[in-house]
Structure 1
Amino acid sequence: MADRVVQTAITTQGAPVSGKAAVDLVHDLLRRQILEGRLAPGAVVSQAQLARDLGVSRSPVREACRLLESEGLVDARYNYRVQVADFSLADLEEIYASRLVLETLAVSLKLPKLSQADFTEMNEALGEMRAGAAERDYDRFTIPHDRFHRFLFIDFGYRMSRQIARLVDHAQRYRRVYTTQTPMAWDVVLAQDTRILGAIRSGDFTTATEELARHLASTALAMIALIDPGYEPLLVRAAMKQVCRDG
């Protein structure tokens, strides 16, 4: 269950790691495993077993699990166990509706400040995405995808950038399933990001912002349809009407 690199960091850097440093390491380990799908939705984890695996006391494990619960990534269970939060369409929809509103606001203000160097790096990220898509390699595809989108909100403002980044992280759990189980997803995402960059290059920031909104909304709607075709995504549709001229 434990990540080997982080486990080594916790147990073999000279003096035993404790206190806040241990809490941070355990939190980061578990958070990454949940977001990357290595701890599956619904999995039950023993805090005592985690402490033994990582060579730390139960205190940092307990605190790390409390932080994850505050993020909505785990639910407390009886007997010092936690359960990885299951997939929830309400959660998915709230994540994407929030992203629609916050990211389009950030983008509308950030785009005029993008430099030629930013354009070059975004274009390079698209090239890496194409290579990852051709190999159907999720990590090779999604790492440059996330880098591409980070240019659209990074340094926008500490609080908002951090909030957007957390929403993007939480979307990973759902997006991984959608991308790996939907053959057309790779090409659809590439085409959408290509249109976003094209609009930015032409100086049409309104179109670029709306293309981003459509990209987020279509991804959310496709994931919802994959999980439950009968679910009515009222929140996503309301967010789209708010940020796009044509809804």
Structure 2
Amino acid sequence: MPVRVDDAFDDIAVPQFGNPREISSQAHAHLRRLINDGVIGPGTELNQADLARRFGVSRVPMREAFRMLQQEGLIDVQLNQRAIVRALDAGEVDQLYGVRITLESLGARITAGHITAEEVVEAKLLLTTMRRTRRDRNMSEWITAHRQFHSLCTARAGDPLARIILSYSERTERYLRFVQQAHPDSFAAAEHEHEEILAALVAGDAECAGSLMAHHLSRTATRVLADLAAGGDGPTVRQALAMARGGC
């Protein structure tokens, strides 16, 4: 039986809304963060009307927030304005990361040799932030810096490619958080991988940058698959990695 969010989380945080025109996106971002952080766990029932009352907003923006969460694959919407937070799924991991590996390694190839000096400085500052926040176990801030770093690594990808890459980055964030919680010591290795990717981008080695990016993303996917599917195979991830593999 689903757990109702108001039964399980009486003290759930209420967001501070700013621009009235952005209430739906702000409610979406807030609920998305709670789901990705595991505050609202898989199997939890969410009710549009209840949450609208709790957040002090109308049902219209809450309905739109639910639509965006459903589009991201975070909830399954049912009848009567209710939704269930989806469970982590090995098949979804394989599909999402397979696509992300393919697109983001392409974005890195496009960016190699064309990353600006200002972007390099910013990327190095973000790497410093990630090291600090990992030591402090402030993984929420780490996630933000990590997302920004990856965006710089694909900075020359224009629309619609950049928009699609960002979409898949956001949709895999839940699984990245899962790895953080299950394997908190695994992120030290990622620091070296990030440095290698940045070095390849600066050197203009497109083949190496794409290959390093693919291996970096596949490592997270493989770890999640091992936990969710008891060592199960990820055929989409495997094929995406084979496509992106270069001579690096």
Name the structure 2 match of 1:230: 231
1:4 aligned to 10, 14, 24, which one? Answer: 14
Query: In structure 1, how many angstroms separate the alpha carbons of the residues matched to 2:177 and 2:28?
Result: 21
Higher RCO (CA < 8 A, seq sep 6+): 2
The answer to whether the 8 Å contact 1:75/1:82 transfers is: yes
Q: CA RMSD in A?
A: 2.3
The answer to whether the 8 Å contact 1:178/1:226 transfers is: no
1:139 Cα offset (Å): 2.3
Q: Which amino acid aligns with 1:145?
A: H
**TM-score for both structures, normalised by structure 1:** 0.86
Aligned length: 238
Please say if 1:103 is aligned against 2:129: no
Deviations 1:28-80 (A, max 9, x none): 33233323333222211111211211222323322332332233221122432
Name the structure 2 match of 1:244: 245
Q: Which amino acid aligns with 1:125?
A: L
Name the structure 2 match of 1:156: 157
Q: Aligned runs of 1:177-196 on 2, under 5 Å?
A: 177-196=178-197
1:4 Cα offset (Å): 3.1
Q: Which 5+ residue runs of structure 2 have no aligned equivalent?
A: 1-8
Please say if 1:143 is aligned against 2:144: yes
Query: In structure 2, how many angstroms separate the alpha carbons of the residues matched to 1:215 and 1:161?
Result: 19
Query: In structure 2, how many angstroms separate the alpha carbons of the residues matched to 1:218 and 1:142?
Result: 17
Query: In structure 2, how many angstroms separate the alpha carbons of the residues matched to 1:199 and 1:209?
Result: 9
Query: In structure 2, how many angstroms separate the alpha carbons of the residues matched to 1:221 and 1:23?
Result: 34
Q: Aligned runs of 1:52-67 on 2, under 5 Å?
A: 52-67=53-68
Q: Which amino acid aligns with 2:143?
A: T
Query: In structure 1, how many angstroms separate the alpha carbons of the residues matched to 2:140 and 2:71?
Result: 27
**TM-score for both structures, normalised by structure 2:** 0.86
Please say if 1:90 is aligned against 2:91: yes
Please say if 1:172 is aligned against 2:173: yes
The answer to whether the 8 Å contact 1:93/1:220 transfers is: yes
Query: In structure 1, how many angstroms separate the alpha carbons of the residues matched to 2:145 and 2:59?
Result: 37
The answer to whether the 8 Å contact 2:111/2:154 transfers is: yes
The answer to whether the 8 Å contact 2:112/2:205 transfers is: no
Local SS of the residue matching 1:82: strand
1:246 Cα offset (Å): 6.8
| Pair 230,246 (structure 1): closer, same or farther in 2 beyond 3 Å | farther
1:24 Cα offset (Å): 3.3
| Pair 45,239 (structure 1): closer, same or farther in 2 beyond 3 Å | same
The answer to whether the 8 Å contact 2:89/2:228 transfers is: no
Q: Which amino acid aligns with 2:74?
A: L
Query: In structure 2, how many angstroms separate the alpha carbons of the residues matched to 1:137 and 1:187?
Result: 14
Local SS of the residue matching 1:112: coil
